Amino acid sequence: SQKIEQNSEALNIQEGKTATLTCNYTNYSPAYLQWYRQDPGRGPVFLLLIRENEKEKRKERLKVTFDTTLKQSLFHITASQPADSATYLCALDHGSGNTGKLIFGQGTTLQVKP
């Protein structure tokens, strides 16, 4: 069956370090993958989208890679700050031609300590 897996354990890192979050999927062939940030009690906020023909994408301190052979995306936050503490969700298109139907992972909580 189709599955998206993110590390369910919280990631704790020191301020200034690089945080790396992982998203693995099986039995999908997504045309693109997205990353969202979610703060407690709030809705997710879009961060980055990467398409299947793109290997890497950057936005300020954020970098996303997409390996369709490994069926994995890595999400990096460089020079992390306490304000980066949140839950990060990866999302794939369902692959049914409905580009708006996203399937979300369960999210990984990042805690950046000063």
Partner 1 sequence: EAEVAQSPRYKITEKSQAVAFWCDPISGHATLYWYRQILGQGPELLVQFQDESVVDDSQLPKDRFSAERLKGVDSTLKIQPAELGDSAMYLCASSPRGPVLTFGAGSRLTVL
Residue 53 in tokens: 């023909």
Tell me the closest approach of the beta carbon of residue 79 to partner 1, in angstroms. 25
Residue 66 in tokens: 């997409």
Site string for partner 1, 64-83 (x = CB under 8 A): --------------------
Residue 92 carries which side chain, given as an amino acid letter?
A: L
Residue 59 carries which side chain, given as an amino acid letter?
A: K
DSSP symbols for 37-75: EE-TTS--EEEEEEETT-SEEEETTEEEEEETTTTEEEE
Which residue in 34, 73, 80, 85 binds partner 1 (CB under 8 A)? 34
CA 58 to chain centroid, in Å, comes to: 13
Stretch that binds partner 1, among 12-20, 60-68, 75-83, 105-113 (CB under 8 A): 105-113
Which residue in 77, 89, 110, 112 binds partner 1 (CB under 8 A)? 89
Binding stretches for partner 1 (CB under 8 A): 4, 32, 34, 41-46, 49, 89, 91, 93, 98-107
